[in-house]
Chain A
């Protein structure tokens, strides 16, 4: 042992001081959540009469068409309401996600923020009382009439943040998303096939593509999450939609350990066994995979509508998109899907009326037209937009059909705060045959049950 020298003693003392200075529970200095329910009578929709207001907005609309629509709509808003100034802060999705938490816990948070739907973002903010319920504004602006219920539930939580998918409305999205099946029309024709109308036809097409020496399906699963969309699609053919919703919203009353889920997992493993995926898919990046598909490797690709614009640039009219087909051609659609990040109003914002007017402006019928012309998929009025035939029309039609029939099922990773990770890693294990379907489902069940029970 070294005897404590004055130096080490001073160091110890300093550490003790530092510890003492910090010795109160983290988060306890934050002010209590603001009174959060504005009475409907207090809501004002006459934005022009609100006086001079500056709104700070944090969004993640930084890419191509997204950035273009935001710029256009913001300019139109400021032109229409000269009394309201917009201070826009835009960051990439990842950056927004990591900084929003700190920004919201400060004393002067932004007025309008784009918050990710999931439990670890919007759910946590609602729980901490940092977002304002928008029910009164939804009433005043008629949002519930324009937006399908299956879309609005993705930004709905109970007031305590525990129940996802129902309760208060906390945000409004601009764009929609649905996961479907992209196909290479030239390759299908070459194989003597039509776009599949049933799940059986789809699997037969995969088999035929394999037989002809094509890569039947592109998958890049290095980033862990892409297989979630493939599994969700297979699951939608095998498991009743209501069960998927219960599982994916992390509510009590369902189970992963069911024959239907086992069948879905088994089907995915069968695809691996039959060599339907490209070689080394677990080591292939997500972007390289869809880029390879658009350059002509692969007949099918299971992916979201967000890929359409980029892939169409290369494949042109050879790119097609369908909703995952059901058992029969006229089976009601079931597809993983949701919305872009919803725009929410912070509880501490001093200008909720102006903020709501802004959100209404960027999501109204005119805004949906702007979204269409800038290459986005508007979440409402989708079937009223006119777009040229081709992949874009396929995508619009698919999303319109899915929302009209309430056929959207939530992303599975919404289930619990840790589920994206659990499911992503478990799927890599399943696809690499490191886990059997039973072990795979047991892993998911454990995460789901633990959360659903502790959540009450």
Chain B
């Protein structure tokens, strides 16, 4: 008979143990994804029998200016959702960590608060802020800057940045708290050593703090970039893609085409493309973080 394998060696029976989880995973994830990919190859209105469309739905994403713009808008939002919160978060976290402020818990809570509020509520509140007679214009008026007041969400130049700023406000808390956690793990000796070497606060930040939180930065970027690319609720509530199409984003197009225009195939194609883009960008971020770490 065969020699008994030492424990921990791979055995075929292990697949059996994986089976229950895999079945659930397949039923609720793999099957729907496969189905979405399949739908994206058809022209289907959701009611009658679909007709084969080949890759034409994907070709349309490249050819259709409106859809191309939607993806560009999503990339612009990445700057507001991911890069700006990262910059602000690094600064805030470094200050909070360095200064050993009293009541750190309080500040952490305040900064994190937007994350706790549902996005729909956030969007409704900001819609009021941006309204022509809203808080922002009221503030500008009080400062004597009447010339700057406008209907922010109806302005072709400012609607997308206005939506983006909400994202920055929303994500900064998450990023800051993540980075704070990372920074609190940095041993004090490292800072001491840096200071003995004559490093100032800025040098210290770049030499000690930044490299130590690389992992947290990767996590924060992955989360916020994904949030940026799949933005839906914010746009749905605030602008519905307007004015014109200047704030349309892929997720909104998916919803709109599937439920508004009954172009299920096209909606699925956008969804699949968006998934691929998100996957690719997340993959790159993590590869980048891993390579730096090793």
Q: Which residues does A use to contact B, with CB under 8 Å?
A: 10, 14-15, 17-19, 21-23, 25-28, 30, 97-98, 101-102, 104-105, 120, 124-125, 127-128, 130, 221-224, 278-285, 288, 292, 417-418, 421, 424-426, 428-429, 432, 434
How many residues of B sit at the interface, in one of the four size bands? 35 or more
Chain B 30-57, CB-CB to A under 8 Å as 1, else 0, gives 1101110111001011111111100000
Closest 10 CB pairs of A and B: A283-B151, A280-B151, A283-B154, A282-B154, A280-B132, A18-B34, A128-B47, A26-B50, A428-B243, A27-B49
Which chain A residues lie closer than 8 Å to B260 at the CB level?
120, 421
Cα A30 to Cα B47 in complex, Å, equals: 8
If A282-B243, A434-B244 are given as contacts, then 9 extra A-B residue pairs at C-beta distance below 8 Å, sorted by A number, are: A10-B15, A15-B30, A15-B34, A25-B49, A27-B46, A27-B48, A224-B243, A284-B151, A432-B243
Q: Is B193 an interface residue (CB 8 A)?
A: no
A417 to B47, CA, bound (A): 15
Give the complex CA separation of A346 and B261 in angstroms.
21
Q: B131 near A: Cβ within 8 Å?
A: yes
Enumerate chain B residues within 8 angstroms of A19, measured Cβ to Cβ.
34, 37-38
Give the one of A30, A285, A418, A424 with max B CB within 10 A.
Answer: A285
Identify which of B44, B244, B256 contacts A27 (C-beta below 8 A). B44
| Residues from 4 to 46 in B contacting A, C-beta threshold 8 Å | 15, 22, 26, 30-31, 33-35, 37-39, 42, 44-46
Which B residue's beta carbon lies closest to that of A420?
Answer: B260
Residues of chain B in range 250-271 having any CB-CB distance to chain A below 8 Å = 256, 259-262, 264
Report B272 CB to chain A, min CB distance, Å.
Answer: 13
Ordered by A's residue number, 26 sampled pairs between the chains whose C-beta atoms are within 8 Å are A15-B30, A18-B26, A18-B30, A21-B31, A21-B34, A22-B38, A26-B39, A26-B44, A26-B49, A30-B47, A101-B259, A120-B262, A124-B45, A128-B47, A224-B241, A280-B151, A281-B151, A282-B242, A283-B131, A283-B132, A283-B159, A285-B127, A421-B256, A428-B242, A434-B156, A434-B244
Task: Give, as a whole number of angstroms, the nearest-CB distance from A394 to chain B.
Answer: 28
Partner of B42, one of A25, A223, A280, A288: A25
Cβ contact within 8 Å between B42 and A26: yes
Q: Contacts A222-B242, A224-B242, A432-B243 known; A280 to B44 CB distance under 8 Å? A: no
Set of chain B residues within 8 Å of A424, measured between Cβ atoms: 242
Q: Across the interface, which residues of A come within 8 angstroms of B261, CB to CB?
A: 120, 417-418, 421
Could you tell me if B47 and A281 are in contact, using CB atoms closer than 8 angstroms?
Answer: no
Most chain A CB within 10 A, of B31, B37, B51, is at B31
Query: Residue of B at shortest CB range from A99?
Result: B259
A28, B49: Cβ atoms under 8 Å?
Answer: yes
Nearest CB in chain B to that of A102: its residue: B46
Across the A-B interface, how many residue pairs have beta carbons closer than 8 Å?
144
Contacts of A428 in B (CB 8 A): 154, 242-244
- In the complex, A194→B30 CA distance in Å? 67
A279 touches B132 (CB 8 A): yes
B192 interface contact, C-beta 8 A:
no
State whether B52 touches A25 (Cβ < 8 A): yes
Counting CB contacts under 8 A, is B73 at the interface? no
Residues of B92-138 whose CB lies within 8 A of A: 127, 130-133
Inter-chain contacts of B44 with A (CB < 8 A): 26-27
Residues of A within 8 A of B153 (CB): 222, 283
Chain B residues in 8 Å Cβ range of A221: 154
Q: How far is the CA of A425 from the CA of B164 in the complex (A)?
A: 21
Inter-chain contact A98/B259, CB cutoff 8 Å: yes
Query: Closest approach, in angstroms, between the C-beta of B130 and any C-beta of chain A?
Result: 7
Contact A101 B262 (CB under 8 A): yes
Closest to B258 in A: A98
Query: Does any Cβ of A come within 8 Å of B230's Cβ?
Result: no
Tell yes or no: B245 within 8 A of A by CB.
yes
Q: Which residues of chain B are near A10, meaning CB under 8 Å?
A: 15
Residue of B nearest to A28 (CB): B49
The answer to whether A222 touches B48, judged by C-beta atoms less than 8 angstroms apart, is: no
Q: How far does the alpha carbon of A22 sit from the alpha carbon of B127 in the complex, in Å?
A: 42
Distance in Å from the Cβ of B234 to the closest Cβ of chain A?
14
**In the docked arrangement, what's the CA distance between A434 and B245, Å?**
12
CA distance in complex: A15, B50 (Å): 22
CA distance A102 to B46 in the complex (A): 8
By beta carbon, the residue of chain A nearest B152 is A283
- Residues of B within 8 Å of A30, CB to CB, are 47, 49
Pair B34/A285 contact, Cβ less than 8 Å? no
- Tell whether A22 pairs with B156 under 8 Å between CB atoms, given A280-B132, A281-B151: no
CB contacts (< 8 Å) of A282 on chain B: these are 151, 154-155, 242-243
CA distance A93 to B74 in the complex (A): 29
Minimum Cβ distance to chain B for residue A365 (Å):
36
Q: How far is the CA of A10 from the CA of B127 in the complex (A)?
A: 48
